[in-house]
Amino acid sequence: MNAQKPRIAAIDEFVGAIYDSISYIPSISIGVVQNGEVVHQQAYGYRDVSNKLLAESSTQYYIASTTKSFTALAATILESKGLLDFNKPLEAYFPKVNFPDSIQADKITIPDLLGHTSGIDNCADMTFKLAYSGSYTYDELFAIMAQTCRRDELGTYRYSNFGYNLLNLIFIRELGKTWKEVVQEEILDPIGMDKTFSSKVELLESRENISIPYRALGVNGKDFFEIPRLMKSDDTMHAAGGLYSSVDDILKWLLFQVGNGVINGKTVIPSQILSKTRALRGEIEPDRFGLGKYNISYGYGWNIAKYKDKIMYHHGGAFTGYSTLISYIPETKSGVVVMINDNQIGNGLTALLSRFIYDLMDINVKEENRDWKKSYAVSISNIKVESKEFGIDRMHQDYSNRMKRKWDLSVPHSAITGAYTCKDGNRPLIRIFEKDGKLGVIQGNMNASVEPYIYPNTMRVDMFGIGNMLKLEVDGEQVTGIRYKDNYYEKL
């Protein structure tokens, strides 16, 4: 451990240099495994900026799509127990669903769902309901499966949440359990990850410290942290992205992975099951997200990458206000987790920090070449420039321009308020209300900010960090409907 001290000190120094250059980062939490041992677990910055509450390695972050590796492993465990059949086609799991012939439901299997090669999506917005609006019942989800549509050829890789959400319906149909129960029983409990939560209610009841999600804007050289309106709730914690966790608990996950299923000398899950989740399933094109530029394939819930001639498994997760990157290299029994409670600059920083730590810990890199001040200072500068030029400065200018707009409505608020039902698809009701003289918009769990837009009888509606135009359909003194995000909603 003493030999590691200079390198660990370099991590602290590097994070300090990031904060010196880019002050508008709420918190960064890091965990590092090397040679099968935890060598670093540390948090920096604030989990709550307004109240100056420091982050800790036990602080909870929403880990978004990194949930997929848990769901995929749980399914693989069930397959080993004979409770799921990975050769059984989709239509056999759901014999009462009238799938379109074009999607080849007689050939799609669970491995296709786990590896993003099913070629399908759901035209009835199942993913939207599960990840954003929270407006659904399981009976409704089963019913709208018939509206599954073809997107690519079967066997073609394209990343999607839909396959994992469809897998949850298989769990329910075959086992009478949701993905939350399956992951808890098959993974979290055996590994001892008692600080990882698939329920927001249970997380709140646990009294764990939760990091507040932010969009860090850094306006005019000053720290400015905006809290997004879209927050996770129990009904939007889904199989493709539905866990909260901490560095402390994810380190258990990394030790389990690099130990090939062994923790504290005890085999928790047989190594051959883990091997199935890591198997290469055809080549994929590299992508820009996280460590995606090193990708060569995708297993079950893991990107498979070639990093400095070693096979690395990694997965990132991002949602409004959160960025997480989890990775490990079996050959060196090393792993890194980086969590940031911001998704503006956080996505780039999780990857930068992960690369830095792997380089720092690489025994094949000569000691004299470990000077991060030379090799990584440029990266810090680039992220700062890019975040300002393409993000912060643009957002601030956009914000300033929006604040100058005036309302241009031909009808009073009383004619606008009410409920609107979607006529073009399966989106939830939109409700427009008035409070303290201002308009507000709700759709399912989403409570939008509302501002004037640039055209008459329009408003800018921001449900989840992206503003979209909502246009009123006006007939004389009455509002008959609205158009929002390519859908028409009729006023009830």
Question: pLDDT tens across 326-347, in order?
Answer: 999 999 999 999 999 998 778 7
Q: Give the C-alpha separation, 125 to 5, whole Å.
A: 50
Confidence of residue 388 (pLDDT cuts 50, 70, 90): low
Q: Give the C-alpha separation, 334 to 269, whole Å.
A: 19
- 107: Cβ contacts below 8 Å, ≥ 6 apart: 89, 154
Confidence of residue 288 (pLDDT cuts 50, 70, 90): confident
What CATH number is given for 23-362 in this structure?
3.40.710.10
Task: Tell me what pLDDT residue 421 has.
Answer: 94
Q: Give the C-alpha separation, 271 to 261, whole Å.
A: 5
Task: Tell me what pLDDT residue 444 has.
Answer: 85
Q: Is the per-residue pLDDT at 428 higher than 70?
A: yes
Mean pLDDT, the chain, rounded, equals 90
Task: Tell me what pLDDT residue 229 has.
Answer: 78
Q: Is the per-residue pLDDT at 6 higher than 70?
A: no
Q: Give the C-alpha separation, 167 to 432, whole Å.
A: 35
- pLDDT tens digits along 179-204: 999 999 999 999 999 999 999 999 99
Task: Tell me what pLDDT residue 282 has.
Answer: 85
Q: Is the per-residue pLDDT at 123 higher than 80?
A: yes
- pLDDT tens digits along 443-474: 988 888 899 999 999 999 988 767 889 999 99
- C-alpha gyration radius of the chain: 24
Q: Where exactly are the structural domains of the chain?
A: 23-362, 413-491
Task: Tell me what pLDDT residue 379 has.
Answer: 74
Q: Which residue has the higher pLDDT, 65 or 377?
A: 65
Task: Tell me what pLDDT residue 230 has.
Answer: 83
Span of 8-12, 85-89, 101-105, 304-308 with lowest mean pLDDT: 8-12
CA distances to 224, 239, 266, 314, 457 from 65, in Å: 27, 9, 28, 11, 38
- pLDDT tens digits along 208-266: 999 999 987 665 545 677 788 788 999 999 999 999 999 999 999 999 999 999 988 99
Q: Give the C-alpha separation, 305 to 286, whole Å.
A: 9
- Reduced to 3 states (helix: H, G, I; strand: E, B; else coil), residue 41 is strand
Task: Tell me what pLDDT residue 287 has.
Answer: 84
* Phi and psi torsions of 181, nearest 5°: -65, -40
E runs forming strands in 266-321? 266-267, 295-298, 303-307, 310-319
Q: Give the C-alpha separation, 413 to 105, whole Å.
A: 48
Task: Tell me what pLDDT residue 220 has.
Answer: 53
Average pLDDT of the segment spanning 11-40: 91
